[in-house]
A and B are shown apart, each in its own frame.
Chain A
Amino acid sequence: MNTAGQMRGWLRADGRKGIRNVVAVAYLVECAHHVARQITVAQPDTAHVIGFPGCFPNPYAQTMMERLCTHPNVGAVLLVSLGCESFNRYQLEQVVRDSGRPVRTLTIQNDGGTRATIAAGRDWVTQQAAALAQAPSVPMDISELVVGTVCGGSDGTSGITGNPAAGIAFDKLVAAGATCIFEETGELIGCEEIMASRAQTPALATELRASVAKAAHYYATLGYGSFAAGNADGGLTTIEEKSLGAYMKSGQSPISGLIKPGDIPPRGGLYLMDVVPDGEVRFGFPNISDNAEIVEMMASGAHMTLFVTGRGSVVGSALAPVLKIAANPHMYRRLADDMDINAGRVLEGEATLEQVGAEIFDHVLALAAGAQSRSEELGHTEFILTYKSFEPIGPACLPV
């Protein structure tokens, strides 16, 4: 296992460091998705497809794409536009250029259509990939890492093995000065008081309570039952019990701040990400699948995501590695090839939560030092971004 001393990153102009150095190939409307994907097929490890499918403008999507294209793991950006979509490609290109990264925009309607745009894109990506392969790296400290966590495909084991083990790893990372982000306020209903008691300031405690109340109202309006019948079959009795299981991912550290997708935490510590949109309910469910949550973590600078799963999710992500933590020992045996960590050993008396937490921590450092996660080895680069709307966070949300 690699140690922190071997961690190296690529230094960006804004002072952040990347643990990967990839070319982001970004489609700016679904109509350009095929061309973007074809540009990357020859270099799946170096060139990752991201994008926004909508033709109508959305400030949230614009901000997310700007943050993702200037993510520390990204070394160069190719924008692929159809030409007539509403996305502000000029602003996005300027933001990337201002970040010091090489950037180019291809516009299918002006650049000769599908075949010619793919050829031009492949040439550009090949040049950039060669340059990135030669780019020098610099030493990187744990305190410079940003790590997110999500859970998906949860079952009765998630809250007693994988999630608390991830929480122990979070505590170790926060103690070493790293930035850790947990999320999904809709699955923290019932946890608001214990969460508020961990806030570093009384004003932040008020903000944390308010974020869960907003989520409860939002989901009630949608008629979304966040407690499925299968949860009860798996031994979970109440929504607060299910929430507490998810909450375990946050560990025991004080909560330093509350951020929204795309907000970059100003310093190390533990942050809650409020993923539920502000204002009236529109555009549907807050996050339509697990990758939407991973994308929001990345937009806030997460170098990697810890993904706890009981039923057995297999996804990875574009741009930033996903570390898969199996909560259920039976599922682990079926999907071992997809899983990085078997937290289910806790149930079988083969390991303690402390041991699994330490194992996750070691894996985080190894990934940061260049080791590949299982989903990376398998070529998973899922990505999804849809419409949302947010108000800016209040002044009490960030540490002073």
Chain B
Amino acid sequence: MTDITTDPRLLLLAPDDTVYVLRAQIDAGETVLVEGRAVTVPHRLGLGHKIARQPVAPGGKVVKYGAPIGSASHAIAPGDHVHTHNLQSDYTPTYSLDSAQAHTSGSTG
């Protein structure tokens, strides 16, 4: 199903998905092909993370497994890492240690 011009480490789970899933780690600075488009990955991405396949405007649905997994909080371009910085739940906010850390450092000045 995956396009021949897409890096084999990117896995497409369903035909309508707007994201690929990483089946292996990609290191910072590596260039990967996303449907013919060369994208340089700015930071290391681990197994299971997502890279955008299609653009999604703010408020638009991000689709994985053929189903919406939330809405874009910022514009997403093909090749972007899709995670908590540009995707939010339509149900409950996601709590991560990054946000906990940011909160703590904020409160201690």
Contacts and interface: CB of A to CB of B under 8 A. Distances in A.
Do the two chains belong together in a single complex?
Answer: yes
A347 interface: yes
A159 B65 contact: yes
B57 interface: no
Interface string B7-22: 0100101000000011
Interface string B45-79: 11111100000000000001101111000000000
A189 B65 contact: no
Contact of A238 (B11, B23, B88, B98): B88
A347 B24 CA distance: 7
A238 B46 contact: no
Nearest to B83: A237
Contacts of A241: 64, 69-70
Contact of B69 (A157, A225, A238, A347): A238
Nearest to B49: A235
Given A235-B22, A235-B49, A240 B94 contact: no
B50 A239 contact: no
Contacts of B13: 160, 164
Interface residues of B, number: 34
Nearest to B64: A241
B4 interface: no
Most buried by B among A155, A194, A232: A232
Given A237-B83, A240-B68, A348-B23, A229 B97 contact: yes
Interface of B: 8, 11, 13, 21-24, 45-50, 64-65, 67-70, 82-84, 87-92, 94-98, 100
Nearest 4 A/B pairs, CB to CB: A156-B48, A235-B48, A235-B49, A238-B89
18 contacts: A157-B47, A160-B21, A160-B23, A227-B95, A232-B84, A233-B97, A234-B46, A235-B47, A235-B48, A237-B82, A237-B83, A237-B94, A238-B87, A240-B90, A240-B91, A241-B64, A241-B69, A346-B23
Given A164-B13, A194-B67, 15 more contacts: A160-B48, A189-B91, A189-B92, A225-B95, A233-B96, A234-B46, A234-B48, A235-B21, A237-B89, A238-B88, A238-B89, A244-B65, A248-B65, A348-B23, A349-B8
